[in-house]
Amino acid sequence: MPPTYDAPAGGGPEALITGELRYSEGCVSLLADDGTETFLVFTSVGAPVVSGTTLTYDGAQYELGSKASFGGGYGIPANVSVVCGGADDANWFTVSSPGTTGNE
C-alpha cells in the first residue's frame, strides 16, 4: 500500500504536479517530462489502492503508465517514515486533493 498521512484541518493544495503515473514496490510516483521522478504520499482519507494497472484514490481511478496530475505540496509529512527509491525530501509530493488523468 502506498504511504498515507492524516491531513491537518484547513490544508489545501499549494502546487500541482503532473507526470506519468508509476507504481513499484509499494510506492506511487510521477515521472516528469524531464525525467525527474517524484514519489507521492496520499491522505489516509480515501487511501490509495493499486490493483493490476489501476490506482484508485478517493473514488477516482488512474491508469498506471498514463499522464496524471495531483494537487498538494512538495515535501513529506514528518510522521511518514516510508522510503521509496532512496528519495529525499526534494523527491516527495504530499497529495491533498484528487487529480486528473490525461483523458480529462
Closest C-alpha among 42, 39, 38, 66 to residue 54: 66
Degrees, nearest 5: CA angle 42-37-15: 55
Predicted local confidence at residue 74, as pLDDT: 83
Q: Phi first, then psi: give them for residue 40, nearest 5 degrees.
A: -105, 140
What does the pLDDT read at residue 6?
55
- pTM for the whole thing? 0.77
- pLDDT tens, residue by residue, 52-85: 999 998 888 999 999 998 888 888 777 776 667 6
Instruction: List the domain boundaries for the chain.
Output: 4-98
pLDDT in tens, 23-60: 988 889 999 999 999 999 887 666 788 999 999 988 88
C-alpha distances in angstroms, 45 versus 4, 37, 67?
9, 24, 23
Q: Are 55 and 62 in contact (CB under 8 A)?
A: yes
- The confidence score (pLDDT) of residue 75 equals 80
Q: What single letter denotes the amino acid at residue 78?
A: A
